[in-house]
Structure 1
Amino acid sequence: MLRHIQDTIQQLQAYRPELTKMPDHDAFWSQTLQEAKERPLNEQLIEMDYPIKQITAYELTYHGFDETPIQAYYILPKKIEGKLPCLIFFHGYAGHKNSVSHYMKWLIQGYAVIAVDVRGQGKTGDYSKYSSDEMGTWVTKGILIKEEYYYRKVYVDGVRAIDFACSREEIDKDRIAIIGASMGGGIALAVSSLDNRPKLTVADVPNMCDVGLAMKQKFEGSLTVVEKFLHRHPEYIEPVYTTLTYFDNLNNCENITSKTRISVGLKDLVCPPMPIYGVYNRIKAEKSIEVFPFSGHDMAIIDHMDKTIQFVNDNL
């Protein structure tokens, strides 16, 4: 059995897919980020009356890609000595940023935390208009036109969270980490590929990796909705796949400069291991991968969070 696992991992380590970038890929993202920089952040902080007295917690709103107020927590240890390292968190698909107490394991160690409700999810709305929006979920919103596509806005919203962190005097701008799992892991990779300010990236079982192969291999999860959309509209297969290339971490991951740790479950039916390895194998920055042979997308590993805490402490 051990040899079988070793053989599987060796096959995954050898997988190096070709990029699927369109000729205007880099120009598209350069223009997108430039447009975002020209818009005001319009951040607002409202202090929360939170029962844990060793922290200061704020409800944070800021403008991301457009004028949608992105909802987040901004949480600090009560006692601040010097500049604080900052962790920016993104949640999974159809999730939310959880409660303030969820982040205490980081706050008691002296980290600042920004926890974001992704656009259209949790408490964050979405002011954008989409010409294609018939499936009732985010992954297909605007999918026929790259300028409209949902993930364009989500990735920029993530970059703007870094803008907020860097605007704060109490934050050490050289010690910022981006952390997420599933959709949040995909966002973490995307944001770190579009912005070189993060020092560290933690992406657990990330989505939006090697999307063409992922759609072929996955049996559950958000990309299955894309397949349902194409089942209804086979005439849109080419434009949909073209749009997705701009948001596939495969086509941006070589730009990552932060030290990166990815995790993968070899039995994951939502974010299959081979597409994740396809992205991991093309990352040029310092990197490592945690492999769980008998885990699926739930990543229910007792010591995985302990390893994450250790990894962040050692590298941030």
Structure 2
Amino acid sequence: MKKRVSFVIVLFSCVTLLSAQVSINKTYVNIRMVPNHADWVYKPGENPELSISVEKSTEAIPNVTVSYELGPEMLSPDKTGTLTLKNGTGVLKMGTMKKPGFRTCKATVSVDGVNYTNWVTVGFSPDEIKPTVPYPADFMTFWNDQKSKSGRLPLDVNMVLLPEKCTSAVNVYQISYNYASHGARFYGILCIPKAEGKYPAILHVPGAGVRSYGGAIEDAERGFITLQVGIHGIPVNLSGQVYNNLRSGILRDYNIINLDNKEAYYYNKVYMGCKRGVDVICSLPQFDGEHLATYGGSQGGALSIVVASLDSRVKCAIAFYPALSDMTGYLHGRTGGWPHMLKDSENSIHNTPEKLETIGYYDVVNFARNLKVPVFFSCGFNDRVCPPTSTFSVYNSITSPKELMVVPETAHWAYPDQRVRAFDFILKQFNMK
């Protein structure tokens, strides 16, 4: 399969979130910033220009002053200043970078006593960005051992039909299964087409957070078995207050729990629990035994790559702006991936030999290096949760067939068009299109 990269700008007002971490809010006043390259990509040494206007109801406001900060994405600015838009528009040079990476302009303006902020991030040869995270010599030995321990346990699948969620074409179940010792269980929503036959499958892995899940019913109605899992070992159809209490209580900052111990780090059970989701799908008599994809955004984008890397039964993976990617970037003078535990690298309590060792075993870059199946990636340049430097560190590490859809103006969200392309990618891999 040929590698294909497309940089497009899609102009739709409707957006679809692939993670519950961020919501999109439009403001009455908008700071519009348009780079002078349509794809927002430059070579090191080039000095991008931004066309800037401040608009109210799409009309440019004259004689406003914009304050700006320029610098490497997610780091302290190296230049600040102001620009007065006398005729409602102006041009600002962003400054350059000497090596591949991303640079951001953050702009702020006060209109009618209200402050508004926006930002634009452009790339400098992003296809040449290299990861910073070390690759442990025993990386695959470690994970083969973890898989062996988990795989020796009985799945003990429990399925409970949810009649209120079933449709004329799909049966919907809450499901739980064993994934670790001491009876630890994963929970999720399983959807199976009602008509007799054998079906392809999609494992939906979640973005970060603690919440309920409704299942990927729409995909099941299109002829797929779908399993949408939670990662915290709790039922996924409880009341919202239960998740609120857990989110602010015992599961607060779950992404750093036991970070100093690679055997006990929180994501050990997460990676193994998601991987055992493949075991569940493969145990179903309705599964066709061959066509299985992983799908997720943000933390889910990370988990999609991890599971596809760990289990050869996965035939393709979909990853939107993966988290947990090149997290050590901050130790090398650039941004790192979510959850940004090393952001204040000199003073970070996580900058210890034990924790850095653990990060090497869980960073998505190191799973991406071992991928053998086709992967579809999609991201935007304005993402400040999973910044593009970390995303490209992963993408550029993949040697299997891959396809990239960049929508530069998006942040930590995706347009419906990106979801359509992702689903079409699965259909293409499964020879269903």
User: Same fold by TM-score, threshold 0.5 exceeded?
Assistant: yes
Q: Is the 8 A contact 1:94 1:121 kept in 2?
A: no
Q: Is the 8 A contact 2:323 2:338 kept in 1?
A: no
Give, in angstroms, the shift of residue 149 of structure 1.
0.4
Q: Is the 8 A contact 1:135 1:225 kept in 2?
A: no
Q: 2:219 aligns with which of 106, 110, 116?
A: 106
Instruction: Confirm or deny that 1:314 pairs with 2:349.
Output: no
Give, in angstroms, the shift of residue 305 of structure 1.
1.8
Q: Is the 8 A contact 1:65 1:154 kept in 2?
A: no
Q: Is the 8 A contact 1:135 1:229 kept in 2?
A: no
Q: 1:170 aligns with which of 286, 297, 305?
A: 286
Residue identity in the other structure for 2:164: Y
Inter-partner Cα distance in structure 1 for 2:346 and 2:251? 11
Counterpart position of 2:309: 193
Instruction: Confirm or deny that 1:250 pairs with 2:353.
Output: no
Counterpart position of 1:128: none
Q: Residues 177-204 of structure 1: CA distance to partner in whole angstroms, max 9, x if unpaired?
A: 0001100110111111111111110011
Give, in angstroms, the shift of residue 17 of structure 1.
2.9
Residue identity in the other structure for 1:105: E
**C-alpha spacing 1:3/1:265, structure 2 compared with 1 (3 Å):** closer
SS for the counterpart of 2:352 is helix
Q: 1:76 aligns with which of 192, 198, 207?
A: 192
Q: What is the alpha-carbon root mean square deviation over aligned residues? A: 2.8
Q: 2:374 aligns with which of 232, 241, 259?
A: 259
Give, in angstroms, the shift of residue 274 of structure 1.
1.4
Matches within 5 A, 1:110-259: 110-119=223-232, 123=236, 136-213=252-329, 223-225=339-341, 231=347, 233=349, 237-259=352-374
Give, in angstroms, the shift of residue 161 of structure 1.
0.4
Inter-partner Cα distance in structure 2 for 1:4 and 1:204? 19
Instruction: Confirm or deny that 1:31 pairs with 2:66.
Output: no
Q: Is the 8 A contact 1:139 1:222 kept in 2?
A: no
Inter-partner Cα distance in structure 1 for 2:405 and 2:412? 13
Inter-partner Cα distance in structure 2 for 1:96 and 1:285? 34
Inter-partner Cα distance in structure 2 for 1:4 and 1:106? 32
SS for the counterpart of 2:131 is coil
Residue identity in the other structure for 2:137: P
Residue identity in the other structure for 2:130: R
Instruction: Confirm or deny that 1:271 pairs with 2:306.
Output: no
Query: What runs of 5+ residues in structure 1 fail to find an aligned partner?
Result: 126-132
SS for the counterpart of 2:202 is strand
Inter-partner Cα distance in structure 2 for 1:55 and 1:124? 18
Inter-partner Cα distance in structure 2 for 1:210 and 1:225? 11
**C-alpha spacing 1:123/1:68, structure 2 compared with 1 (3 Å):** farther
Inter-partner Cα distance in structure 1 for 2:196 and 2:252? 44
Q: Residues 48-73 of structure 1: CA distance to partner in whole angstroms, max 9, x if unpaired?
A: 11252321111110012342221111
**C-alpha spacing 1:135/1:158, structure 2 compared with 1 (3 Å):** closer
Specify which structure has the higher proportion of strand.
Answer: 2
Percent of aligned pairs sharing the same letter: 22
Inter-partner Cα distance in structure 1 for 2:250 and 2:185? 24
Instruction: Confirm or deny that 1:43 pairs with 2:157.
Output: yes
TM-score w.r.t. structure 2 length?
0.64
Inter-partner Cα distance in structure 1 for 2:334 and 2:386? 9
Q: Is the 8 A contact 1:178 1:201 kept in 2?
A: yes
Number of residue-to-residue matches in the alignment: 303
Larger Rg: 2
**C-alpha spacing 1:287/1:121, structure 2 compared with 1 (3 Å):** farther
Q: 2:201 aligns with which of 74, 86, 90?
A: 86
Give, in angstroms, the shift of residue 217 of structure 1.
5.0
Q: Is the 8 A contact 1:58 1:75 kept in 2?
A: yes
Residue identity in the other structure for 1:26: M
Q: Is the 8 A contact 1:269 1:296 kept in 2?
A: yes
Residue identity in the other structure for 2:421: K
**C-alpha spacing 1:245/1:71, structure 2 compared with 1 (3 Å):** same
Specify which structure has the higher proportion of helix.
Answer: 1
Inter-partner Cα distance in structure 1 for 2:212 and 2:205? 7
Q: Residues 20-75 of structure 1: CA distance to partner in whole angstroms, max 9, x if unpaired?
A: 02233222112111111111111111111125232111111001234222111111
Inter-partner Cα distance in structure 2 for 1:122 and 1:296? 31
